[in-house]
Structure 1
Amino acid sequence: MDPDFAPCLEFLSPGHAAEHDILLLGHMDTVFPKGTAQARPFHIDNNRAYGPGVMDMKSGALFGLYLAHLFKETGEAFPSICFALNSHEELGSARARPWIEGLARRSHIALILEPARANGDLVFERKGSCRYNLTFHGKAAHSGVNPQDGASAINELAHWIIELHKLTDFDAGLNLNVGLVSGGTSVNAIAELAEAKVDMRFVENDQALRVDERIKAMVEHPFTDTVRTEISGGISRPPMNASEESLAFCRRIDAIAQKTGIANRLAKNRWRI
């Protein structure tokens, strides 16, 4: 077992077959750093749950557990259910992806237990995602003695941050975020090395291709003379745009919700962030 990853969980209904009628998918991890759960522990107040990640599929995972329990308690024809929980979705599901794809190939229906938004908007589409790792190689020099002999990797990184963020188009469903940066060794040294990690979300593959072309152009034509840039990463998931079948399914959910007084609805801004 990889010590950097918690185990994924797979639950199967009693007497399960080789193929599953329903695959329920969720994830357990959150984006919060270690210690957040201790600082903001889970609690229930006035019949409402609070805690890190409560709205990020934890409610969906709990719903899946109750749904499986309900099937068992009703005594009706019990479908073959596989309930799978990913432990590292927020990191890109690198270890879990082959496992999830294998389960999906053996399932007739797959339901992702993404909860509705706080205003009731149903989530039935997902943006594609892309991660880039950027490494900038400059030339070290002393900032007081011979700065003209250096080439700052941090200066090049700063230009890239501005240029990449310019590509964001919220109306078109494209957004880029330089979320992690590092570089330099001391305040009085021209930085020889700098690094950045970029997250991109998009709704059309053409958007990702245009960003990729811009990145390649910046590699070929650096903003800072003699700084060299290395790129790794790329598209990890294509966009999942809504089909007519998924929209029809959501309309059925909407109709049932209205009968029970739940304010679910098809969202005008449908994209999963």
Structure 2
Amino acid sequence: MDVRKKELEMLRLLERLVNTDSGSYDKVGIDQLANILKPYFTELGYSIETKEQDVYGNHLVIQHPKVSDPEILIVAHMDTVFEKGTASLRPFSVKGSKAFGPGVIDMKASLVSLIYALKDLKNQRNKALQHVKIILNSDEEIGSPSSRRIIEEEAKKGIRYALIMEPARKDGSLVTERRGNGHYVMEIQGKAAHSGIEPEKGRSAIQELALKIVKLHALNDYEHGISVNVGMIEGGDAVNTISAHAIGHIDVRVSTLEQIEELEHKIEEVCSTSDVIGTKIDLSGDISRPPMIKNQQISALFEIVQQVGKEIGIEIKDTKTGGGSDASFTAALGIPTIDGLGPVGGNAHSEKEYLDIPSLLERTRLLSKLIMRLTNEENQSANSFIAKTS
């Protein structure tokens, strides 16, 4: 098939995915997206196990029936950060060499790239197609609360390499290092009173929250990669009322495994006693994603990716980022992991989110060739429909 026709075919599937709302809390939308994707994997010969969820969208575990212990785990997520109805307000569009729409780069273009990389392997009758296990989860954008266990359980079943389909950075770099992250909720109960008539009878939950924010932000140690940020607050019923209730949402980032326990202890210590007498604090949450640390195994895997890229005319660089992803789970298990293997784009989680269209075929070819290399099923079949992009 002509390369341009293949690109248009991929863009048509991408349009369908982008125009299907699949926010993390939109179970109906995510399950609808999963039903769009399932036939593509079935056509490739895979068996699909649906992990039913009550609150979140269902997760899919996809594997070829001919291989009981695949060597490669590929993880991609179906959820986005956008509210239901966003797709109808900002549907898929193409302007020049860029495509736009909610979730277009994070990470619906990656879902398309994954499908077509596997199609390429099937077209070449390459046995590497059988040596991958795929997890499509529905809650990555909110920390993978229900899919983490599934990812870790499947990763422990003889997996040698983990490939994570987050988008490549704007400059095309892959990700070999991430900070760990977590989320806490600090809920404060005070006592309401009229601020003009009898303020002395009140116990301000907002005041307590403000004092705790100062102490929590004092835990920041940017030099060593530790950040604590109370990024969202709630509280108060009226301007003339001493507030009886307040909530602070805390984002936490760490750079090493050793920092996790120490920082968790410090946060708990800050919230263990009230500064405003008569208020009570309830702290919930944890550091749910460990850091992805670039060790010798990850460096060695990245060198293989670079070699494959060089062979097909792509210069591959790597970077580290403070954002979290499911790569942290596989890396923490000691499995060589590479992240950012999706197409190139930027401005994720915003109205300006975009995909660089030329990278769609480019990164699909990279993924296809990488799977072949890692499974020792490399060949130079002329049947590949993904031509060199150089």
What TM-score comes out, normalization by structure 1 length? 0.88
The residue number in structure 2 matching 1:136 is 188
Deviation per CA, 1:177-199: give whole Å up to 9, x if none: 32332222222211111112212
- Out of 96, 105, 109, which is 1:55 matched to? 105
Contact 1:136 1:227 in 2 (8 A): yes
The residue number in structure 2 matching 1:218 is 270
Letter in 1 for 2:138: S
- Out of 142, 161, 164, which is 1:109 matched to? 161
What stretches of structure 1 of length at least 5 have no aligned partner?
none
Identical aligned pairs, as a percentage?
Answer: 36
1:166 has 2:218 as partner: yes
- Out of 94, 106, 110, which is 2:145 matched to? 94
The residue number in structure 1 matching 2:68 is 18
- Out of 27, 36, 45, which is 2:77 matched to? 27
Report the alpha carbon displacement of residue 244 of structure 1 after superposing the two structures with TM: 0.8
Which aligned segments of 4 or more residues in structure 1 are displaced greater than 4 angstroms? none
Shift in CA distance, 176/61, structure 1 to aligned 2, threshold 3 Å: farther
Secondary structure class of the residue paired with 1:61: helix
Deviation per CA, 1:85-121: give whole Å up to 9, x if none: 1111112222212222222122333211222210222
Secondary structure class of the residue paired with 1:52: coil
Aligned residues: 270
Shift in CA distance, 244/76, structure 1 to aligned 2, threshold 3 Å: same
1:192 has 2:269 as partner: no
Q: What is the distance in 1 between the residues matched to 2:223 and 2:90? A: 35
Q: Which moved more, 1:100-109 or 1:231-240?
A: 100-109
Q: What is the distance in 1 between the residues matched to 2:63 and 2:91? A: 30
The residue number in structure 1 matching 2:58 is 7
Shift in CA distance, 89/158, structure 1 to aligned 2, threshold 3 Å: same
What stretches of structure 2 of length at least 5 have no aligned partner?
1-51, 324-390
Query: Which residues in structure 2 correspond to 1:119-268 (within 5 Å)?
Result: 119-267=171-319
Secondary structure class of the residue paired with 2:287: strand
Secondary structure class of the residue paired with 2:187: strand
Report the alpha carbon displacement of residue 263 of structure 1 after superposing the two structures with TM: 4.3
Secondary structure class of the residue paired with 2:181: strand
Letter in 1 for 2:317: R
Shift in CA distance, 36/167, structure 1 to aligned 2, threshold 3 Å: farther
What TM-score comes out, normalization by structure 2 length? 0.64
Deviation per CA, 1:38-64: give whole Å up to 9, x if none: 222222332422122223233333222
Deviation per CA, 1:28-84: give whole Å up to 9, x if none: 112223333222222233242212222323333322212211111111234322221
- Out of 56, 81, 96, which is 1:46 matched to? 96
Query: Which structure has more helix as a fraction of its residues?
Result: 2
Contact 2:216 2:270 in 1 (8 A): no
Secondary structure class of the residue paired with 2:71: strand
Q: What is the distance in 2 between the residues matched to 1:171 and 1:116? A: 26
Q: What is the distance in 1 between the residues matched to 2:66 and 2:232? A: 44
Q: What is the distance in 2 between the residues matched to 1:272 and 1:55? A: 18
Secondary structure class of the residue paired with 2:299: helix
Q: What's the RMSD between the two structures over aligned residues? A: 2.2
Report the alpha carbon displacement of residue 207 of structure 1 after superposing the two structures with TM: 2.9
Contact 2:253 2:322 in 1 (8 A): no
1:37 has 2:83 as partner: no
Secondary structure class of the residue paired with 1:123: strand
